[in-house]
Chain A
Amino acid sequence: MTPDQAPNLDPHIARRKRFFARPMPPGYAAEWARILEQPLPEELEHKESMLEFRIASLPLAIASRWVKAVTSPLIVCPVPHRDNTAFLGLVAYAGEVIPCCSLARILGAADSTKGAEARTIVLEQRPGERWAFPVDAVFGVSTGTIHNRSTGSGPDAGQLGKDWSDSLFEDERNQKIDILRPETLFQRLQRATA
């Protein structure tokens, strides 16, 4: 819109121009530079949405953004020559064939049972690259506080090594659960599959 189209705005534009055109007060730029140079306070804890689930007796959490679906147990098609590792076989989800691994075996936990609460979790590392793994139960998605162990803000306790989990999730019921590091998780899933 030009001043011709809206003549009433013209004085405001002129004022704004004058405002921005005036010289900066002494020390103004230096003060800003000083403020910007200061390191940001390290975030000790923050809130995030997590999917909570259980493998054997091990409660675990993973950031919901990686989770594509939680389904009833998917039928696994075993693959010859690949039955001796954590790779279980192939499953179909939403018309796609996805590799399915035993996270229980990868973690060294007891193997998943086929209880009534058993589910299959489908993760998506990046568009089109999905992984599935069976779990013994899914507690649901909840938003809670993330305690980073490395900053000392959270409890030391945790059933997994630091490689697998460097933070704990405190859910709405104040339960503290190991959060799986996605880097480690996807790396191990890849290794199990290939």
Chain B
Amino acid sequence: MPDDLDDLSIYDMFRMEAEEQVEHLQSRLLALKDGEPNEMALRNLMRGAHSLKGAARVVGLNAAVRLTHAMEERFVAAQGGHAISQSEVDILLRAVDLLRDLSTISENEAPAWAEAQDSAITTLVTELTGDPSIPDPAPSSPSTAPDPQNPTADTVESAVTSGDPTDKVTADFNLRITSQRFDRIIAMSSDNLVQSQSLVRLQEQMQQIQHRLERLVRSVADARRKGARDPEKQAAALNTIMAQGEKDRARLGVLLQELNRMIYTHELNSERLHQEVLHARLRPFGDVLPNLRRLVRDISAEMGKKVRLEVTGERTEVDRDILEKLRSPLEHLLRNALDHGLETPAQRVIAGKPEESTIRLRAWHANGRLAITLSDDGNGVNIAAVSQRAIDRSLVSQSVAAILSDAEILEFLFLPGFSTRTEVTEISGRGFGLDVVQSTVHESGGSVRIENSPGLGTTFHISLPVTRSLMRVMRVELENEIYAIPLARLSRIASLMVTREADGSSTVEVGDSRVPVIHMMSALQNTGIPLQPGLAKVLFFLNEKAREAPIAFQIDRVVDETTVAVRQLDPRLGRMAAIAAVTLTEQNVPMLIVEPDDILRLAQKRIAQSTSDPAAQSTTADRGSILVVDDSGTVRQMIRRTLLRARYQVATAEHGAEAWNLLQVQHFDLLVSDVDMPEMNGIELVEHVRGNSRLSHLPIILLSYKGREEDRRRGLEAGADAYVTKGEFQEQAFLQVVTDLVGPAELPATPEQAEGAA
């Protein structure tokens, strides 16, 4: 019998989700009641209703599906401008109250609940949509999903709750471990405590020996002083001292042996404790499968499609926190595949495919990370339709759309509210599924990308850390500081000959080609550290973007390879370029963990700056190019002139959406954005940028009249690098922040800049 029995039944999981979503819906609705509704709040409400609908569908609670769908419809209408009145908020709160029951009733009680609440739900649906006949599409079917053991009596629950209830869902989480495991952890912690007390006793005994040795030293001095008068007494005294010294030496030997034994035991026990705690967090990937299988079965039946779900890697271990977060993205991807991607049996036969579609879900560990692919053998994404939809929604102009690559066009699918569907069904088409997928995966420190084969299917590749708690790292010394490099992203370390090239750049020979080399600190600090020709220690990162040229990083010294406990960076710090996280050394000193993707990007930039190759310099031709976004023309011009005077190149946009369009087609080194703007506000713009693989590293300064700490925190948590308050705007301080983020402008003053300076 496995000892980690927290495999709750599907219905238990549904109840937990219902409890969570109901609380979020209620708090957000109450916030609507108190203040002006905003897009973010409505989007969160819509997501909450949508998620709860999805969960209810999985357990076959069609009455709840009907109600949540009606709620979702109302939130969508509100986004379209049909504001929610106070009386409607009351209706929605009544609906939430009704849904609250779902977290308390058992699976057996659910049908009776649905029957008893049928008329109340119909009334609510009518009040919300004006149409009592909102379809109840999911056919009620008995659950065929495996019913895992229910170990609730054997579980210990601890809840960590923080912050504003309207904050991100991720703020709250529950960690369940079995009472046996918990008892073992307590026992091992107690062992550690006892051992610590033994160490104190050992320390006392060693201190006693130290005192005796001090006395012996004094006795030797005393005997030497008296010895001149009485050599015999001196000899006797020295003999006594020697005997005592020998006794203490022997005792010290015993104590050292004891100390060695205790260190060994302590290390062993700490390792066991560590493993026990770590394993309490790891779960097999298969834990998410029952829900997914049920979802595929129900939706495919509903849509008249024949679908087989093939899964490999069910035993792949994943941090339970990450596993929990994976549920919703995988459900969204499956819904999309079932609704958009897969054809009906008739269509498949015409296309020369077997009647039955296949969705393949695979999980495995690759380079120390969790890799997941979800592929279908459907139609694939219609690139032309996506492009046209983007044009229709004014996300991109026709001329720009024409030059975008397929991969760039596919990125539009990750925008909030983007869907090629003209009709919204209860399965998909609302268009915020992929947005949720991307943001959830990013929150967990991962990435997601689409691979499209028109006519043959679509594959989503998700890469995630196996655990966010521990990481194997290589510690390296750079300019007298120690940094940790994630081992999973390290390709190799070698001693190679650095050569100075004619254009002033430095290279190392790798195989038949010469690879640019840069001191890692140059990339980290964005400063030039000259490399001396000769043998040097260099490392290479695994480059996930194979099309990018490799770069060698010179380091001063390899310290060692070790496992570190990863700590997230304090959100007060904002985003730190090239730094992924922080850990503590054995000496209790913070040590920064390098972000390989960031440092590769910074190195490419640095190398391009230093080389005389015009092709390489093309990427930096607009170095110091800044995009300023503000709906106030006055503020926009003030910032623009300030930056022009400092010799930066400046482009401007009136709101977030315009800025987003510009960012798609033009390179910028820095984004300076207002927060409160029409179309797309600053926070949303930051979220878009951070969620975009090409732009995710763009430095961002948020500029706002809102100077409260919570406003600042919201901006930084969204991903801004700095938050500057307009009310306290000081030109020099602002320019200092700009310089810190992108370095000084090195371009000669243009006529426009001269004019700006005037």
Give me the interface of A with B, judged by CB distance under 8 Å: 75, 77-85, 89-92, 95, 97-99, 129, 190, 193-194
- Contacting pair A194 B577 (CB below 8 A): no
- Contacting pair A194 B589 (CB below 8 A): no
A151 CA to B587 CA, complexed, in Å: 49
B254 → chain A closest CB, angstroms: 34
B421 → chain A closest CB, angstroms: 41
Smallest CB-CB separation from A77: which chain B residue?
Answer: B590
Show 18 A/B contacts (Cβ-Cβ < 8 Å), sorted by A.
A75-B587, A75-B589, A77-B592, A79-B573, A79-B579, A80-B577, A81-B578, A81-B741, A84-B739, A84-B740, A90-B582, A90-B592, A92-B588, A92-B590, A95-B584, A97-B584, A99-B570, A193-B573
A8 → chain B closest CB, angstroms: 50
B524 at the interface (CB under 8 A from A): yes
B737 → chain A closest CB, angstroms: 8
A89 CA to B270 CA, complexed, in Å: 30
Residue from B584, B587, B736 having most chain A Cβ neighbours under 10 A: B584
Smallest CB-CB separation from B720: which chain A residue?
Answer: A194
Known: A79-B592, A98-B570, A190-B709. 11 other contacts (CB 8 A): A77-B582, A77-B592, A80-B524, A81-B524, A81-B525, A83-B525, A84-B739, A92-B589, A97-B582, A190-B712, A194-B712
- Contacting pair B573 A77 (CB below 8 A): no
Q: Mark B505-544, 1 if CB is under 8 A from A, else 0.
A: 0000000000000000100111000000000000000000
Residue from B567, B591, B592 having most chain A Cβ neighbours under 10 A: B592
B residues near A77, Cβ cutoff 8 Å: 481, 582, 589-592
Q: A91-B590, A92-B590, A97-B584 are in contact. Are A190 and B740 (CB under 8 A)?
A: no
A79 CA to B577 CA, complexed, in Å: 10
- Contacting pair B590 A80 (CB below 8 A): no
Residue from A91, A97, A99, A129 having most chain B Cβ neighbours under 10 A: A97
B11 at the interface (CB under 8 A from A): no
Q: Which of B526, B572, B584, B736 contacts A81 (CB 8 A)?
A: B526
- Contacting pair A80 B739 (CB below 8 A): no
- Contacting pair A97 B590 (CB below 8 A): yes
Question: Would you call the interface of chain B mostly helix, strand, loop, or mixed?
Answer: mixed
Give me the interface of B with A, judged by CB distance under 8 Å: 481, 521, 524-526, 567, 570, 572-574, 576-579, 582, 584, 587-592, 709, 712, 716, 722-723, 736, 739-741
B residues near A84, Cβ cutoff 8 Å: 736, 739-740
- Contacting pair B572 A193 (CB below 8 A): yes
A95 CA to B525 CA, complexed, in Å: 27
Q: A80-B579, A90-B582, A90-B590 are in contact. Are A194 and B573 (CB under 8 A)?
A: yes
A89 CA to B579 CA, complexed, in Å: 13
Query: Which are the 10 A-B pairs with shortest beta-carbon distances?
Result: A77-B590, A80-B524, A90-B590, A75-B589, A92-B588, A97-B590, A80-B525, A194-B574, A81-B577, A92-B590
B553 → chain A closest CB, angstroms: 14
Smallest CB-CB separation from A131: which chain B residue?
Answer: B572
B residues near A85, Cβ cutoff 8 Å: 736, 740
- Contacting pair A97 B567 (CB below 8 A): yes
Smallest CB-CB separation from B599: which chain A residue?
Answer: A80
B623 → chain A closest CB, angstroms: 16
A89 CA to B592 CA, complexed, in Å: 10
- Contacting pair A194 B579 (CB below 8 A): no
- Contacting pair B712 A92 (CB below 8 A): no
A residues near B584, Cβ cutoff 8 Å: 92, 95, 97
A79 CA to B582 CA, complexed, in Å: 10
Q: Which of B521, B576, B587, B722 contacts A79 (CB 8 A)?
A: B576
Smallest CB-CB separation from A94: which chain B residue?
Answer: B588
- Contacting pair B572 A129 (CB below 8 A): yes
A90 CA to B589 CA, complexed, in Å: 9
A191 → chain B closest CB, angstroms: 8
- Contacting pair B578 A80 (CB below 8 A): yes
A118 CA to B578 CA, complexed, in Å: 32
A82 CA to B526 CA, complexed, in Å: 11
